[in-house]
Structure 1
Amino acid sequence: MPQLALYTFGVLKSPLADPGPLTREFHDSSEAVYRTISRHPGYLARAEAAAGSRGTLFELDWGDWGDFAVPAWYDKGRTAQTAALAATLSLWTGLRPAFDAIYTGLHRQALNRRYDWFERTGHPGHVFWWVSEGVKPTWQDGVSRLEHLHGHGSAPHAFTFQHAFAPEGAPARMKDIGRQAATAPE
């Protein structure tokens, strides 16, 4: 059964190392958001660095998720002191569970604050695509799909909630996603 990959990317207004209150607030809330989302029905996995891995995002061992990568348009730092980004890579059973997790609870509260923390870049902040069961998407896959979405718009190859596609490539409307989730075999 196909699984839904999700890559998110945002440029923070200040580096992660910034001790200022807004950066700390974002950083401090992240762990609770991840913990809540990881318990959400339909969540399968997210990219996490290997235990004991040290260094910047770019130096960590991400295992099967591949080397950490960012879009070509990201022009801020890559060191521990200058990196100003937030990125996630995750797997879901489908669109409805991902939608429900993202737009409810703690994550919804964080979304309501996104313009306090993130720059408005003119680039999409997330991209979805379908993968075969057992396939682990990589950071580079996410970057490629996000850049494709920015350059070409939503297509079965790379899409958003607003212009979603079913695993077989047919357009999927949000009202249909609920029906798919209700009828999909577990």
Structure 2
Amino acid sequence: MQTARNRVLMIYPAFNANSFWNYKATCALAGARHPAAPLGLITVAALLPTTWEVRLVDLNTEELGVGDLDWADLVMTGGMLPQQDGALAVIEMCRSRGKPVVVGGPDATSTPEIYAAADFQVLGEAEEIMADFVAAWTGGARSGVFRAEMGKTDVTKSPTPRFDLLTFKNYLHVGVQFSRGCPFNCEFCDIIEL
């Protein structure tokens, strides 16, 4: 059984180099390292117990330090399809070091079988299932899949993201979430399915 205090390292995977999310020239003009902050991950951080210590490493803006994994009791990662290679690399690195790793986000929710090597999968909107994950982890579980029913989350009840985890100068902009999903039906996008 875990103690009330846990150290969680959140690792935001790098986007593929040719991704739409990597407009590096614009970032360079503004003195930023990456276009947008990891809003989803810092929202998940806000859903964790306040007694847990949380650190964020955004691999789009910084490198993972030598002691970061040693410090952590648990690693959380995940993201979108253009981050799949990076997320899988984080999972493999954690597995090789014996660190429990949790994966979530839209890509893991769309294709959980690709992320089977993660110890835990949090699939769907975290607001609906993070309490279940926390209860399982603190109760001694070392693996599991937590699935939220799609389309049930009331975003007005979502906590304020942990903006304190960000280094603001690294980003062109920091988003504010006021809705989820998309009203359009573009054939190339999976958001409407999620």
Pairwise same-fold verdict (TM > 0.5): no
Q: Which structure is richer in relative contact order (CA contacts within 8 A, separation 6 or more)?
A: 1
TM-score by length of 1: 0.30
